[in-house]
């Protein structure tokens, strides 16, 4: 078989939709699985809407998700230009071929493709008038996902619009043809265009490529197709929110495809090895933001400490997020940087996202941390937390130098002596020194803060939060 050539053909609209990213991904996976070529083609015939900025959003999104293309913008290639706006002479050439075959006519300034078949007049419900229809032979599409689809076109369609710009169907087919595309993998919303595309391929005397129309992505809540207006539908949003790109990519792999054994978190090499068009599910895929968040957390937990700390640094320090909560990082020296790394090491196994880190670790960097009211309500309603805090404060004061083992021993000793459970000490202490009831390991946290800050914070908490009467 000849080399597989697939393409992603976005129209730059200014957004990079999750659905588009998934289409790109399936093409990329198929190219990598088969050792074929992945082509990026920019369908920018709509000149008013297409800007350099809109293109940048797509290219950056693809780079971010780790999808490289073998031909296209930035990469070059033998089948260019890869921008439709630069292919006018090719389109005129191909229009000439259709003219020579007598498959073209002009009407009201637009150029039409002539279907073959018996003509008759019929009422058009949509246009509310009588129109000319054609009994064209049905086009049979053996879609690799949808199965066999038959559809007959009924009306001649536009090749060049009245404004002289070539139309979508025409350029799409001419490009797939001239770029040697072997497999068209695209969203199911294009299935209804495919009979037109087959008509055109055949009019050029060519066999259409193999088609695989991948299922729509439905909104997580309620019904309907996910659109760019829906929250969570844009790649750039996940990027801004510091999701881990490998996690987003892994999640997108599962939107319509799955390995046979229900595995979810998978290395991309493994997905490439297993990916095939026959494994694409024909049912619509539902977008599940929680599942994506879990996937992201799973990637955070398993990445190297160095990378986690680097991601955290990019967000908290470089992007100025710690500054927003009052921490001046401009004067940080080597020691501060080491401390930052230690904090991240401690927090990696409990943090849920990079985006959550300011709340999750803020108290390591400032004395001015908020006390979460929900957490406080929960923790303070049980037993006598103030008494426990005073007791643990005294016990901690006796520990000459903090270590996790020593602190744990001390708290166990204390609870044996008083009959209170270790948790009766741990929960209010965590609340006092961090302002919350979630976080990294308790003893690790105390060691990281150090004795002076811990005692200080307990004192402050005791005087600022009066015991309930």
If one asks whether residue 172 binds ligand GLU (CB under 6 A), the answer comes out as yes
Least spacing, CB of residue 80 vs ligand GLU, in Å: 17
Least spacing, CB of residue 29 vs ligand GLU, in Å: 16
Q: How many chain residues are in contact with ligand GLU, going by CB under 6 A? A: 7
If one asks whether residue 309 binds ligand GLU (CB under 6 A), the answer comes out as no
Least spacing, CB of residue 213 vs ligand GLU, in Å: 10
228 is an active site residue: yes
Least spacing, CB of residue 180 vs ligand GLU, in Å: 15
Closer residue to ligand GLU in complex, CB, 15/64: 15
Closer residue to ligand GLU in complex, CB, 44/391: 44
Q: Select the residue interacting with ligand GLU from 17, 186, 427, 430 (CB under 6 A).
A: 186
Closer residue to ligand GLU in complex, CB, 10/166: 10
User: Euclidean distance between the first and final Cα of the chain, in Å?
Assistant: 82
Q: Select the residue interacting with ligand GLU from 4, 14, 43, 110 (CB under 6 A).
A: 43
Report the site for ligand GLU in 385-424 (rule: CB under 6 A): none
Q: Select the residue interacting with ligand GLU from 5, 6, 9, 256 (CB under 6 A).
A: 9
Least spacing, CB of residue 299 vs ligand GLU, in Å: 29
Question: Among 7-15, 121-129, 320-328, 362-370, which window interacts with ligand GLU (CB under 6 A)?
Answer: 7-15
* Contact characters 236-265, ligand GLU, x per CB under 6 A: ------------------------------
Least spacing, CB of residue 232 vs ligand GLU, in Å: 20
Contact indicator for 193, 186 with CB cutoff of 8 Å: no
Closer residue to ligand GLU in complex, CB, 9/351: 9
Question: Among 6-14, 58-66, 93-101, 261-269, which window interacts with ligand GLU (CB under 6 A)?
Answer: 6-14
Closer residue to ligand GLU in complex, CB, 175/355: 175
If one asks whether residue 46 binds ligand GLU (CB under 6 A), the answer comes out as no
Give the whole-angstrom CA distance, residue 286 versus residue 223: 9
Report the site for ligand GLU in 189-208 (rule: CB under 6 A): 190
If one asks whether residue 11 binds ligand GLU (CB under 6 A), the answer comes out as yes
Least spacing, CB of residue 39 vs ligand GLU, in Å: 11
Question: Among 3-11, 63-71, 107-115, 339-347, which window interacts with ligand GLU (CB under 6 A)?
Answer: 3-11
SS (H, E, C) the chain: CCCCEEEECCCCCCCCEHHHHHHHHHHHHHHHHHCCEEEECECCCCCCCCCHHHHHHHHHHHHHCCCCCCEECCCECCCCCCEHHHCHHHHHHHHHHHHHCCCEEEECCEEEECCCCEEEEEEECCCCEEEEEEECCCEEEEECCCEEEEECCCCCEEEECCCCCECHHHHHHHHHHHCCCCEEEEEHHHHHHHHHHHHHHHHCCCCCCEEEEECCEECCCCCCECCCCCCCCEHHHHHHCCCCHHHHHHHHHCCCECCCCCCCCCCHHHHHHHCCHHHECCCCEECCHHHHHHHHHHHHHHCCHHHHHHHHHHHHHHCCHHHHCCCCCCCCCHHHHHHHHHHHHHHCCCCCCCCCHHHHHHHHCCCCCCCCHHHHHHHHCCCCHHHHHHHHHHHHHCCCCCCHHHHHHHHHHHHHHHCCCHHHHHHHHHHHHHCCCCCCCHHHHHHHHCHHHHHHHHHHHHHHCCCCC
- Annotated catalytic residue, options 135, 219, 225, 228: 228
Residues that bind ligand GLU (CB under 6 A): 9-11, 43, 172, 186, 190
Residues with a catalytic annotation lie at 228
């Amino acid at each position: 078989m000849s080399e597989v050539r697939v393409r992603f053909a976005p129209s730059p609209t200014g957004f990079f939709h999750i659905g588009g990213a998934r289409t790109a991904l399936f093409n990329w996976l198929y190219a990598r699985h088969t050792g074929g070529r992945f082509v990026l083609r920019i369908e920018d015939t709509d000149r008013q809407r297409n800007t350099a900025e809109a293109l940048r959003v797509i290219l950056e999104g693809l780079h971010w998700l780790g999808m490289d293309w073998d031909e296209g913008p930035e990469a070059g290639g033998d089948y260019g230009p890869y921008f439709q706006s630069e292919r006018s002479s090719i389109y005129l050439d191909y229009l000439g071929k259709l003219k020579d075959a007598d498959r073209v006519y002009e009407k009201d300034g637009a150029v039409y493709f002539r279907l073959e078949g018996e003509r008759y007049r019929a009422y058009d419900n949509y246009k509310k008038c009588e129109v000319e229809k054609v009994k064209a032979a049905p086009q049979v599409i053996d879609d690799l996902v949808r199965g066999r689809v038959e559809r007959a076109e009924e009306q001649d369609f536009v090749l060049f619009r009245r404004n002289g710009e070539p139309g979508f169907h025409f350029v799409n087919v001419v490009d797939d043809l001239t770029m040697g595309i072997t497999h068209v993998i695209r969203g199911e919303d294009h299935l209804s265009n495919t009979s037109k595309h087959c008509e055109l391929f055949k009019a050029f005397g060519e066999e259409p490529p193999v088609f695989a129309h991948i299922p729509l992505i439905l909104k997580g809540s309620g019904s309907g197709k996910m659109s760019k207006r829906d929250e969570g539908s844009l790649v750039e949003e996940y990027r801004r929110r510091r999701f881990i790109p490998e996690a987003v990519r892994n999640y997108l792999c599962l939107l319509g495809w799955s390995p046979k054994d229900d595995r979810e978190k998978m290395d991309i090499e493994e997905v490439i090895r297993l990916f095939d068009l026959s494994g694409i599910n024909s049912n619509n895929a539902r977008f599940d933001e929680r599942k994506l968040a879990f996937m992201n957390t799973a990637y955070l937990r398993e990445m190297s400490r160095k990378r986690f700390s680097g991601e955290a640094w990019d967000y908290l320090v470089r992007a100025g997020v710690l500054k927003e909560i009052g921490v001046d990082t401009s004067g940080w020296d080597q020691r501060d940087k080491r401390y930052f790394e230690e904090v991240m090491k401690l927090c990696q196994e409990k943090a849920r996202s990079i985006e959550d880190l300011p709340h999750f670790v803020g108290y390591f960097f400032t004395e001015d941390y908020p006390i979460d009211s929900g957490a406080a309500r929960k923790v303070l309603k049980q037993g006598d937390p103030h008494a426990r805090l005073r007791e643990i404060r005294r016990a901690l004061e006796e520990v000459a130098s903090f270590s996790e083992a020593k602190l744990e021993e001390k708290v166990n000793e204390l609870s044996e002596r008083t009959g209170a459970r270790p948790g009766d000490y741990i929960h209010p202490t965590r609340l006092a020194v961090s302002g919350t009831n979630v976080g990294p390991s308790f003893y690790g946290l105390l060691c990281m803060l150090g004795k002076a800050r811990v005692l200080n914070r307990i004192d402050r908490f005791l005087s600022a939060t009066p015991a309930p009467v």
